A and B are shown apart, each in its own frame.
Chain A
């Protein structure tokens, strides 16, 4: 068990009888206490939340964009074409001159 700190606090939770029974069985199977099992489960839950926090919210972004794309009849092919156009604009605005200058210097 990897507790977050050495200081111990008490919480009291009420759970359905069936869940209590199932957890008790797992605790017996794993030769551990119900308390230790609950602490490990809570730690795993926190770790999962922390992991999710670090992940890009692609589903949330999609929840905004998918209905809008459907409403406009926007196809995947059109969107890919728009990516190419965006790429060209960024390239021309930001890099073309710099790279051409660099190329000219190395040629000369």
Chain B
């Protein structure tokens, strides 16, 4: 069976890495999604755009680990999907509440995932944003929603 291709927003990616457990040592939603990824339940697709944002945050918050992190990521450079072209970003601009998000919207489209996962509800889950994802037959989910997709949670609505 073909595995679903999931595109993580940079925030989700960081939450999976840095906050997989809560203060009581219990798995967070991001931690549960990380477990599913490690169980090979789905594939994550990474964009150069997301990795560039990740590197900026590393430079700011964890500069002492920069070289180690770059070394860990180096073997995967060839798997990254490309930065979007200006025309692709322009198309996304119409649907992004904040224009800063347009490059990430466009980067997700370039990656051609089945699902975009983001917990940024004011950017990725607005009615306009959902129109955008629908144009490309991309499903947009929160971390909770992604767990629902894989039967680990039940939809609340």
Contact = CB atoms under 8 A, between A and B. Distances in A.
Nearest to A87: B100
Interface stretch (B85-93, B108-116, B134-142): B85-93
Contacts of B86: 95, 98-99, 101-102
Contacts of A83: 10-11, 14, 53, 57
Interface string B1-43: 0000000001101111111100000000000001001101000
Contacts of B44: 55-56
Contacts, number: 113
Contacts of A72: 61
B16 A58 contact: yes
B154 interface: no
A95 B89 contact: yes
Contacts of B16: 58, 62
Interface stretch (A3-11, A14-22, A74-82): A74-82
B20 A66 contact: yes
Which of A72, A79, A88 counts the most B-chain CB atoms under 10 A from its CB? A79
A91 to B, nearest CB: 5
Contact of B100 (A56, A65, A88): A88
B60 interface: yes
Chain B contact residues: over half helix, strand or loop, or mixed?
Answer: helix
Contacts of A54: 79
B15 A76 contact: yes
Chain B, interface residues (CB within 8 Å), range: 35 or more
A90 B120 contact: no
B129 interface: no
A62 B27 CA distance: 14
Interface string A43-86: 00000000100111111111011101100101010011011101
A75 B19 CA distance: 9
A72 B63 CA distance: 13
A94 B72 CA distance: 26
A76 B65 CA distance: 19
Nearest to B15: A76
A89 interface: yes
A51 B39 CA distance: 11
Closest 8 CB pairs of A and B: A86-B56, A62-B17, A98-B86, A91-B100, A86-B53, A88-B100, A65-B18, A61-B17
15 contacts: A58-B16, A58-B37, A59-B34, A62-B16, A62-B17, A68-B65, A76-B18, A79-B15, A89-B56, A90-B103, A91-B99, A99-B86, A101-B86, A102-B86, A102-B90
